[in-house]
Amino acid sequence: MTSPVQIRKAIIPAAGLGTRLYPATKSQPKEMLPLGRKPAIQLVAEEAVCAGLNQILIITGQKKRAIEDHFDQNNQLYAEALETGLVQRSILDEPGRANFFYTRQHGPRGLGDAVYCARDFVDAEHFVVALGDAVIARYGRVKRLLTRLIEAHLEREAAATIAVREVPRSALSSYGIVAPAGEVDSVFDLKDLVEKPAPEEAPSNLAITARYVFSPELFSYIERTGAGYGGEIQLTDAIKLMLQDGRRVVAVRLAPLEKRYDLGSFQDYALAFIEVALADESGGAELRHRLQALLEEPAPTSLLVGDQD
């Protein structure tokens, strides 16, 4: 049975410090770093709008003003660039497709605390959370992940619905790992979540993946969530409380044609940029050619710029 509930709000947390990418993110948001031609957070917002979400709240903090400037509709030079065809039109350029709102998290106190900043905006509606530093790309005709998440959430009348993907054993201790309640399918129920487990203690090889749908009751669970990993209010801990209370939590697996690109670490970011750039319609083929030639040269051991003799 399909519920009459409609989901139209997306929360994009973007208030983290991005310390793993210092010095690149000392004074600019990591969410504004480009993946190919676009800042990562633009790709995240496009993903949300393509899934029918039209009320977008971005959680910002110190040094994050560039995000508001980026989504400002009143930009003459950009309008001219669109007119002359210098840049390709995005779904966000279509009038009325999306409204952007901003609120500030007062200090990076964790993802749970960041999402809690959205409580007045969300009010009594179910809503999506899409992390501002992770992009889900499709390399083929597969129904959008956010659409599948919303459908599963409504059909199963869940309190929380979480995207998950398989990760290698060596990476299990870097992620929140889910414990399935029964058989694992493309959509399945959860019985628990374990934050950053040792590989031998991990309940599965499926990691929580940057996209969620929540009932507004999430906020009461965040209120009951104490400081967790790293002394921060963790979203995972609030979802665990939901499960302990007997609330239904569902997982949706990424499809084989989907990939998550992450700006967390230097290697993740560098690889994500290259992959997205290689898929670029007008520049990707030439880039592949030049990259192949570069990879045939001997590997440089260090780049001597700004070093001291």
User: 188 vs 240, which CB is nearer to ligand UTP?
Assistant: 240
- Three-state secondary structure readout of 193-229: EEECCCHHHCCCCEEEEEEEEECCCHHHHHHCCCCCH
Residues 6+ apart with CB under 8 A from 239: 160, 162, 193, 218, 221, 249
User: 154 vs 172, which CB is nearer to ligand UTP?
Assistant: 172
Question: What are the residues binding ligand UTP (CB under 6 A)?
Answer: 13-20, 31, 59, 105, 108-111, 113-114, 131-133, 264
In the complex, least distance from residue 137 CB atom to ligand UTP, rounded to whole angstroms: 17
In the complex, least distance from residue 126 CB atom to ligand UTP, rounded to whole angstroms: 20
* Burial of 296 per CB tally in 10 Å (0-12, 13-18, 19+): exposed
In the complex, least distance from residue 201 CB atom to ligand UTP, rounded to whole angstroms: 22
| H or E, element range at 146 | helix 145-155
In the complex, least distance from residue 21 CB atom to ligand UTP, rounded to whole angstroms: 6
In the complex, least distance from residue 232 CB atom to ligand UTP, rounded to whole angstroms: 6
Q: What single DSSP character describes residue 230?
A: G
CB 213 within 8 A of CB 127: yes
CB 150 within 8 A of CB 169: no
Residue of closest CB approach to ligand UTP: 16
Encoded tokens for 167: 């990760």
User: 98 vs 115, which CB is nearer to ligand UTP?
Assistant: 115
| H or E, element range at 112 | helix 111-116
> DSSP secondary structure string, 161-181?
EEEEEE--GGGGGGSEEEEES
User: 107 vs 199, which CB is nearer to ligand UTP?
Assistant: 107
177 φψ region: left (φ > 0), alpha (ψ -120 to 50), beta (else)? beta
User: 133 vs 258, which CB is nearer to ligand UTP?
Assistant: 133
User: 106 vs 143, which CB is nearer to ligand UTP?
Assistant: 106
Backbone angles phi and psi of 149, in degrees to 5: -65, -45
In the complex, least distance from residue 54 CB atom to ligand UTP, rounded to whole angstroms: 21
In the complex, least distance from residue 152 CB atom to ligand UTP, rounded to whole angstroms: 23
CA distances from 66 to 28, 41, 77, 253 (A): 7, 11, 16, 33
In the complex, least distance from residue 74 CB atom to ligand UTP, rounded to whole angstroms: 25
User: 215 vs 236, which CB is nearer to ligand UTP?
Assistant: 236
User: 6 vs 174, which CB is nearer to ligand UTP?
Assistant: 174
Whose CA is closest to 13, among 163, 162, 159, 130?
Answer: 130
